């Protein structure tokens, strides 16, 4: 499994996350909107998965293994996550 | 400008100068192997520097020259005057590039084609096997050259595509932005298999390379070159709006930072969208975010500037035409300071701290002992006061010595100009420079370029005879202009000497008469030496024909004005048929001026001691009235006498004393007497130029603060006596 939920409720993305993971990730996030997502073991993720993270404004924990995700996608998610924090704070 | 580039410019200038000096020697004795080595080494080092800053055009040009010199060293070819000229041409081009870089901080545009011309010139005889391939495109800022906006079809995921994987493989990917096609839905409404992504990616690769990557998907993406097409599509109005945003960013202060950056970013992005520059607008949005995140307007400012850049490049010829003075000013704004001089300042700072502490002790003692006798406190203050006096004197000298530059900074630019001018006039000439290590204050060195250039131009244009006449007079075909500089006490003497025909006194006199520079009577009474000085008079120009070089209405009076402004003097000496010498006597430093205080009309003034010849006391009855003026006879000469208070305040003053105190001063070569009430002390002061309301006050050269806090107005005698 590439999308799993750990004992403390953290949603973990690991290995190569295919397009199908998008649906699974969306379900998890809908059922636990405040859940933490950890992608430090993620080696690649399909655009669909990234799209879910963006819409959910999730700033995943850790740095993914893929340089592309780490250098180019992560800053965008951090920004989206921060703007969601701003919204909830307001 | 980056420190790196600054350092490069500084070092390159020194190397150019070095190579030029060696080439001048080679011009005279082409077989001097040592000079060939010297030139080769300097050019080689220059080339290395160019490679370090990625200035490939300069590297290529110098490489060609280096190859040719290397062939000379190995005996494969011989040194010729032609090759020397080629090397000069390379170095002149490098100098021009350095000037451009010093102004803009960027590698010069168009350098590649200039380098090609030079290479072709040198290669006419040189070896051209291992020139670097043309890497001109790499001269462009490699960062963010192309932007692509990729809108993946909504069924991409169904079709088994991964748009981001395509982007991840984009050549030269620098950064990206992900946005929804219209807006993101709420999470619960999201169809995870419907692609809504619009990817904006910035790449350092060329538009062609990026286009190749998206082959077959042309309908889904928009590719633009950031560098070249941005501004061409911008309307004038749009450009103004963008420039206004830069101005807004420049004046942004901490309190208004977020609002201003966000607003400038929004406006800029909207302007660009309006001009259908969607990709550029996205770049602005991205950089606005970055600016806000980094809490610095720099990123956004750079992005807007870059979008405007092609316009700036188009305007480059205009900036290149900015007068040489401003280039020079920026060139000498960097000072190379001897580490020892800096150490000296550090030492003085430490000593001043010690004195400060000593003063603290005295203060504490006075505070703690209410009844301490004033005498004791005063005694305790004496020592720190003495130390302070001494240290401040040293500090003043140390600071002045930092501002000191060798005249080389301006002189090194002249050989190239002399070559150009002599070629234009078809009068072969060589420039010899002596004593270019003579030092003077930075301000003096900086102002010297234009007057010197004018004098040299004048010498070549009017002084040096045309080759035919020179041969008739048995003079060497190649004329010589010699610039000699030397230090004389607190003055620096710069002499420009030519071996031309000298000044035609009769002609000067005739022109002076025609242009009413002086009255016919005055002219007749003048000696030849005095007549010659008339070339410095305002509105005088002896050019029989207006050439493109001098004689354009800016005569030698501009030289005189510039030199006198810094407290210098200029004279011209001529020997008919032998040549002309123009002598510039300049103060070593403009900061310290020796003045004498005088009192007139109840007020104290300073008179620059440079102008004062003597102070005399004459019986009142010896002052004779000549019409409305007054004069005394002094050493068999009539000396006009003016009342200082009367000149300054415009009203007559009554003198009660029998003896009149007169300060005899020389102004523009004329002697005059100034009657004052009292003569005070002599001192060295730091003259501050007038500012604020006083700026246009006539007759005042500047101000200085006296020991008791009063302001001393220092007179400009030339203006006072006008």
The CATH number given to whatever domain includes residue B638 is 2.40.50.180
Mind telling me how many Å the CA of A29 is from chain B's nearest CA? 9
pLDDT in tens, chain A (90 residues): 688 888 888 899 998 999 889 999 999 999 888 888 999 889 899 999 999 999 998 888 888 888 899 888 888 888 777 666 544 443
**What is the chain A residue with the closest CA to B286?**
A76
| H or E segment to which residue B362 belongs | helix B339-368
Q: Helix axis angle, B324-332 relative to B81-104, nearest 10°?
A: 80
Residue percentage of chain B with pLDDT more than 70: 86
Residue B97 CA to residue B346 CA, distance in Å, equals 37
B45 pLDDT band, cuts 50/70/90, is: confident
- Looking at the structure, tell me whether residues B245 and B198 fall in a common domain: no
- Looking at the structure, tell me whether residues B120 and B156 fall in a common domain: no
CB contact under 8 A, A54 and B168: no
Residue linked to tokens 């996608």: A73
Mind telling me how many Å the CA of A8 is from chain B's nearest CA? 23
pLDDT at B29: 80
Residue percentage of chain B with pLDDT more than 90: 10
CB atoms within 10 A of CB B282: 22
pLDDT at B399: 81
Range with the poorest average pLDDT among B56-70, B75-89, B580-594, B646-660: B646-660
Q: How many domains does chain B have?
A: 6
For A76, which of B152, B178, B193 is closest by C-beta distance? B178
pTM: 0.41
Residue B444 CA to residue B585 CA, distance in Å, equals 11
Task: Check if B185 contacts A (Cβ < 8 Å).
Answer: yes
Our CA angle for B429, B431, B432, nearest 5°, is 135
Q: Please, are residues B372 and B366 in contact by the beta-carbon 8 Å criterion?
A: yes
Query: What would the pLDDT profile of B220-241 be if each residue is shown by its tens digit?
Result: 888 877 654 444 457 777 888 8
Task: Check if B173 contacts A (Cβ < 8 Å).
Answer: yes
- Looking at the structure, tell me whether residues B563 and B633 fall in a common domain: no
Residue A57 CA to residue A84 CA, distance in Å, equals 6
What is the pLDDT averaged over residues B521-536? 88
Mind telling me how many Å the CA of B17 is from chain A's nearest CA? 47
Distances (CA, A) of B253 to B245, B259, B294: 14, 10, 15
Q: How many Cα atoms are found within 13 Å in the side-chain-facing hemisphere of B312? A: 12
> Which of B170, B204, B225 is the last residue before a domain boundary?
B225
Q: Helix axis angle, B339-368 relative to B374-402, nearest 10°?
A: 170
CB contact under 8 A, A72 and B152: no
For B52, the token pair is 């370090």
Q: Helix axis angle, B111-123 relative to B56-73, nearest 10°?
A: 10
What is the pLDDT averaged over residues B241-250? 83
Residue B567 CA to residue B545 CA, distance in Å, equals 33
- Looking at the structure, tell me whether residues B709 and B681 fall in a common domain: yes
- Looking at the structure, tell me whether residues B80 and B205 fall in a common domain: no
What is the pLDDT averaged over residues B425-452? 87
pLDDT at B316: 32
What is the pLDDT averaged over residues B516-541? 84
Evaluate if residue B709 carries a pLDDT over 80. Answer: no
> Which of B92, B109, B136 is the last residue before a domain boundary?
B136
Q: Please, are residues B588 and B405 in contact by the beta-carbon 8 Å criterion?
A: no
Range with the poorest average pLDDT among B81-90, B594-603, B682-691: B682-691
In a domain, B59, yes or no: yes
For B254, the token pair is 């901490």
CB atoms within 10 A of CB B650: 7
What is the pLDDT averaged over residues B58-70? 90
pLDDT at B708: 67
Evaluate if residue B634 carries a pLDDT over 90. Answer: no
The arrangement of strands across the sheet holding B603-608 comes to: B678-686, B592-600, B603-608, B711-715, B700-705
Tell which wins on pLDDT, B266 or B134: B266
Q: Please, are residues A80 and A54 in contact by the beta-carbon 8 Å criterion?
A: yes
Query: Per DSSP, what are the bridge partners of residue B583?
Result: B495, B571
Q: Which of residues 532-561 of B touch A (CB under 8 A)?
A: none
- Looking at the structure, tell me whether residues B548 and B439 fall in a common domain: yes
Q: Please, are residues B536 and B559 in contact by the beta-carbon 8 Å criterion?
A: yes
- Looking at the structure, tell me whether residues B418 and B548 fall in a common domain: yes
pLDDT at B35: 87
For residue B377, the enclosing domain spans: 339-402
**What is the chain A residue with the closest CA to B160?**
A19
Please provide residue B400's backbone torsions phi and psi, each rounded to the nearest 5 degrees. -60, -40
pLDDT at B186: 87
What residues have CB less than 8 Å from B227, skipping those under 6 apart?
B140, B141, B145, B306, B309, B310
Please provide residue B653's backbone torsions phi and psi, each rounded to the nearest 5 degrees. -120, 145
Q: Under DSSP, is residue B429 helix (H, G, I), strand (E, B) or coil? A: strand
pLDDT at B336: 66
What residues have CB less than 8 Å from B497, skipping those under 6 apart?
B481, B482, B483, B484, B579, B580, B581, B582
pLDDT at B215: 83
Q: Helix axis angle, B236-250 relative to B257-274, nearest 10°?
A: 170
For B164, which of A22, A47, A52 is closest by C-beta distance? A47
Evaluate if residue B128 carries a pLDDT over 60. Answer: no
- Looking at the structure, tell me whether residues B129 and B24 fall in a common domain: yes
Q: Please, are residues B156 and B164 in contact by the beta-carbon 8 Å criterion?
A: no
B273 pLDDT band, cuts 50/70/90, is: confident
- Looking at the structure, tell me whether residues B393 and B457 fall in a common domain: no
Residue B545 sits in a domain of what CATH number? 3.30.565.10
Burial class from Cβ neighbours inside 10 Å (0-12, 13-18, 19+) for residue B679 reads: middle
In a domain, B477, yes or no: yes
ipTM of the complex: 0.92
Q: Using CA atoms of B355, B358, B360, B364 in order, give the dihedral in degrees to the nearest 10.
A: -170
What is the pLDDT averaged over residues B394-402? 81
What is the pLDDT averaged over residues B62-82? 86
What is the pLDDT averaged over residues B95-112? 85
DSSP string for A4-64 = EE-TTS-EEEEEEE-TTHHHHHHHHHHH-TT--EEEEEEEEE-HHHHHHHHHTT---BS--
CB contact under 8 A, B187 and A29: yes
Q: Please, are residues B335 and B442 in contact by the beta-carbon 8 Å criterion?
A: yes
For B187, which of A30, A50, A68 is closest by C-beta distance? A30
In a domain, B141, yes or no: no
Q: Chains A, B: CB contacts under 8 A, how many?
A: 67
Range with the poorest average pLDDT among B135-149, B368-382, B596-610: B135-149
For B168, the token pair is 């991840």
CB contact under 8 A, B164 and A50: yes
Residue B199 CA to residue B688 CA, distance in Å, equals 60
What is the pLDDT averaged over residues B188-205? 87
Task: Check if A55 contacts B (Cβ < 8 Å).
Answer: yes
Q: Find which of B326-340, B355-369, B704-718 is predicted with most confidence, using mean pLDDT.
A: B355-369
> Which of B72, B105, B136 is the last residue before a domain boundary?
B136
In a domain, B648, yes or no: yes
Provide the greatest CA pair distance for chain A: 37
CB contact under 8 A, A30 and B193: no
In a domain, B327, yes or no: no
DSSP string for B43-82 = HHHHHHHHHHTT-HHHHHHHHHHHHHHHHHHTTSS---HH
Our CA angle for B516, B521, B527, nearest 5°, is 95
Distances (CA, A) of B519 to B507, B527, B553: 16, 14, 21
In a domain, B413, yes or no: yes
Residue A50 Rama label (left phi>0; alpha psi -120 to 50; beta): alpha
In a domain, B330, yes or no: no
pLDDT at B303: 84
CA end-to-end span of chain A: 37
Tell which wins on pLDDT, B397 or A54: A54
Q: Under DSSP, is residue B31 helix (H, G, I), strand (E, B) or coil? A: coil
Tell which wins on pLDDT, B435 or B690: B435
Q: Please, are residues B435 and B484 in contact by the beta-carbon 8 Å criterion?
A: yes
- Looking at the structure, tell me whether residues B398 and B411 fall in a common domain: no
- Looking at the structure, tell me whether residues B287 and B154 fall in a common domain: no
Question: Whose CA is closest to B91, among B70, B60, B62, B114?
Answer: B62
pLDDT at B651: 64
pLDDT at A26: 92
Chain A hits for B163, Cβ within 8 Å:
47
Evaluate if residue B359 carries a pLDDT over 70. Answer: yes
pLDDT at B581: 94
What is the pLDDT averaged over residues B711-718? 86
What is the pLDDT averaged over residues B84-107? 87
Please provide residue B308's backbone torsions phi and psi, each rounded to the nearest 5 degrees. -85, -10
pLDDT at A83: 62
For A23, which of B164, B188, B192 is closest by C-beta distance? B192
B325 pLDDT band, cuts 50/70/90, is: very low
Q: Under DSSP, is residue B656 helix (H, G, I), strand (E, B) or coil? A: coil
For A26, which of B156, B160, B192 is closest by C-beta distance? B192
In a domain, B328, yes or no: no
CB atoms within 10 A of CB B291: 25
For B417, the token pair is 């100009």
- Looking at the structure, tell me whether residues B426 and B564 fall in a common domain: yes
pLDDT at B159: 82
């Amino acid at each position: 499994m590439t999308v799993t939920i750990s004992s403390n409720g953290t949603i973990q993305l690991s290995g190569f996350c295919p397009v199908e993971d998008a649906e699974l990730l969306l379900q998890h996030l809908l059922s636990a909107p405040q859940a933490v997502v950890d992608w430090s073991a993620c080696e690649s993720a399909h655009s669909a998965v990234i799209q879910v993270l963006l819409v959910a404004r999730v700033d995943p924990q850790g740095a993914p293994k893929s340089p592309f995700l780490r250098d180019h996608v992560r800053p965008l998610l951090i920004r989206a996550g921060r703007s969601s924090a701003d919204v909830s704070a307001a | 400008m980056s420190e790196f580039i600054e350092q490069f410019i500084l070092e390159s200038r020194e190397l150019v100068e070095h190579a030029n000096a060696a080439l001048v020697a080679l011009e005279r004795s082409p077989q001097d192997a040592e000079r060939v080595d010297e030139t080769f080494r300097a050019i080689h080092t220059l080339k290395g520097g160019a490679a370090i800053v990625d200035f490939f055009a300069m590297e290529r040009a110098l490489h060609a020259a280096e190859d040719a010199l290397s062939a000379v060293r190995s005996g494969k070819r011989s040194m010729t005057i032609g090759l020397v000229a080629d090397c000069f041409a390379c170095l002149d081009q490098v100098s021009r590039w350095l000037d451009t870089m010093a102004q803009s901080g960027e590698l010069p545009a168009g350098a590649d084609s200039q380098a090609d011309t030079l290479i072709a010139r040198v290669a006419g005889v040189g070896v051209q096997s291992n020139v670097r391939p043309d890497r001109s495109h790499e001269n462009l800022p490699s960062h963010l050259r192309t932007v692509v906006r990729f809108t993946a079809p909504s069924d991409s995921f169904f079709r088994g595509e991964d748009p981001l994987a395509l982007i991840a493989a984009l050549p030269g990917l620098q950064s990206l932005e992900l946005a929804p096609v219209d807006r993101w839905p709420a999470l619960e409404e999201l169809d995870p298999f419907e692609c809504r992504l619009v990817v904006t990616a910035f790449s350092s690769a060329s538009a062609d390379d990026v286009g190749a990557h998206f082959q077959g998907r042309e309908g889904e993406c928009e590719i633009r070159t950031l560098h070249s097409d941005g501004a061409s599509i911008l309307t004038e109005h749009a450009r103004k709006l963008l420039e206004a945003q830069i101005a807004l960013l420049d004046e942004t202060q901490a309190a208004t930072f977020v609002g201003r950056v966000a607003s400038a970013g929004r406006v800029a992005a909207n302007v660009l969208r309006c001009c259908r520059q969607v990709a550029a607008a996205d770049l602005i949005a991205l950089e606005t975010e970055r600016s806000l995140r980094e809490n610095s307007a720099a990123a956004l400012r750079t992005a807007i500037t870059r979008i405007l850049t092609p316009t700036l490049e188009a305007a480059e010829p205009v900036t290149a035409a900015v007068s040489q003075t401003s280039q020079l000013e920026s060139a000498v704004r960097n000072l190379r300071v001897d580490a020892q001089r800096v150490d000296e300042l550090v030492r003085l700072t430490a000593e001043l701290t010690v004195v400060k502490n000593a003063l603290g002790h005295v203060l504490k003692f006075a505070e703690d002992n209410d009844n301490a006798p004033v005498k004791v406190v005063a005694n305790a203050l004496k020592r720190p006061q003495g130390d302070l006096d001494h240290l401040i004197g040293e500090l003043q000298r140390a600071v002045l010595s930092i501002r000191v530059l060798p005249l080389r900074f301006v002189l090194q630019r002249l050989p190239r100009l002399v070559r150009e001018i002599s070629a234009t006039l078809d009068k072969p000439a060589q420039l010899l420079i002596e004593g270019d290590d003579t030092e003077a204050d930075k301000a003096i060195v900086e102002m010297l370029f234009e007057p010197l250039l004018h004098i040299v131009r004048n010498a070549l244009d009017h002084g040096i005879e045309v080759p035919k006449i020179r041969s008739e007079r048995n003079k060497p075909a190649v004329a010589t202009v010699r610039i000699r500089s030397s230090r004389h006490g607190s003055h620096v003497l710069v002499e420009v000497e030519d071996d031309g025909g000298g000044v035609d006194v009769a002609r000067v006199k005739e022109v002076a008469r025609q242009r009413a520079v002086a009255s016919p009577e005055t002219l007749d009474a003048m000696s030849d030496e005095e007549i010659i000085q008339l070339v410095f008079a305002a509105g005088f120009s002896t050019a029989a024909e207006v050439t493109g070089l001098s004689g354009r209405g800016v005569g030698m009076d501009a030289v005189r004005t510039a030199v006198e402004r810094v407290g210098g003097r200029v004279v011209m000496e001529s020997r008919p048929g032998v040549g002309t010498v123009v002598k510039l006597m300049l103060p070593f430093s403009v900061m310290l001026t020796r003045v004498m205080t005088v009192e007139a009309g109840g007020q104290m003034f300073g008179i620059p001691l440079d102008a004062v010849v003597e102070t005399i006391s004459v019986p009142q009855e010896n002052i004779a009235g000549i019409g409305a003026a007054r004069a005394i006879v002094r050493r068999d000469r009539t000396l006009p006498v003016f009342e200082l208070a009367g000149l300054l305040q415009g009203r007559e003053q009554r003198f009660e004393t029998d003896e009149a105190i007169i300060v005899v001063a020389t102004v523009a070569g004329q002697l005059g007497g100034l009657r004052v009430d009292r003569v005070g002390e002599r001192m060295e002061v730091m003259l501050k130029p007038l500012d604020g309301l006083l700026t246009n006050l006539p007759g005042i050269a500047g101000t200085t603060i006296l020991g008791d806090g009063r302001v001393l107005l220092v007179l400009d005698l030339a203006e006072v006596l006008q």
